[in-house]
Amino acid sequence: MIAYLDFVTRISLDDKRRTFVAQGLTAGMRVLDVGCGTGDDVRSIAALVGDDGFVAGTDSSHAMIAAARARGVPKPAAFYTASAAQLPFEDASFDAARAERVLQHVADPSAALRELRRVVRPGGSLLLIDQDWDSLSVAGADRDVTRRILHAFADALANGTAGRDARAGLRAAGFPEVEIAPMISTPSLPIAHELILRPAIDAALARGVVDAIAARDWLAALLRAEAQGGFYCAVVVVAALGR
Ligand X SMILES: C[S@@+](CC[C@H](N)C(=O)[O-])C[C@H]1O[C@@H](n2cnc3c(N)ncnc32)[C@H](O)[C@@H]1O
Q: Of 99 and 210, which has the nearer Cβ to ligand X?
A: 99
Residue 80: partners with Cβ closer than 8 Å, 6 or more residues away: 56, 57, 58, 65, 88
Among 26, 83, 93, 110, binds ligand X (CB under 6 A): 83
Q: Of 100 and 165, which has the nearer Cβ to ligand X?
A: 100
Does residue number 113 form part of the binding site for ligand X (CB under 6 A)?
A: no
CB of 111: closest distance to ligand X in angstroms? 9
Q: Using an 8 Å Cβ cutoff, are 155 and 149 in contact?
A: no
CB of 179: closest distance to ligand X in angstroms? 19
Among 106, 166, 215, 241, binds ligand X (CB under 6 A): 106
Q: Which helix (H) or strand (E) holds 123?
A: strand 120-139
CB of 224: closest distance to ligand X in angstroms? 31
Does residue number 110 form part of the binding site for ligand X (CB under 6 A)?
A: no
End-to-end CA distance of the chain: 31
CB of 35: closest distance to ligand X in angstroms? 3
Q: Of 3 and 212, which has the nearer Cβ to ligand X?
A: 3
CA gap 181, 144 in Å, rounded: 30
Q: Give the Å distances, CA to CA, from 207 to 83, 154, 212.
A: 28, 12, 12
Nearest to 97 by CA among 112, 76, 81: 112
Does residue number 102 form part of the binding site for ligand X (CB under 6 A)?
A: yes
Interactions with ligand X, residue window 8-27 (CB under 6 A):
9
Nearest to 76 by CA among 138, 31, 113, 129: 31
Among 22, 26, 60, 74, binds ligand X (CB under 6 A): 60
CB of 146: closest distance to ligand X in angstroms? 24
Does residue number 214 form part of the binding site for ligand X (CB under 6 A)?
A: no
Phi and psi for 68 in degrees, rounded to 5?
A: -65, -45
- 40 SS3 class: helix
Contacting residues toward ligand X, per CB under 6 A: 5, 9, 34-37, 41, 59-61, 64, 83-84, 100-102, 105-106
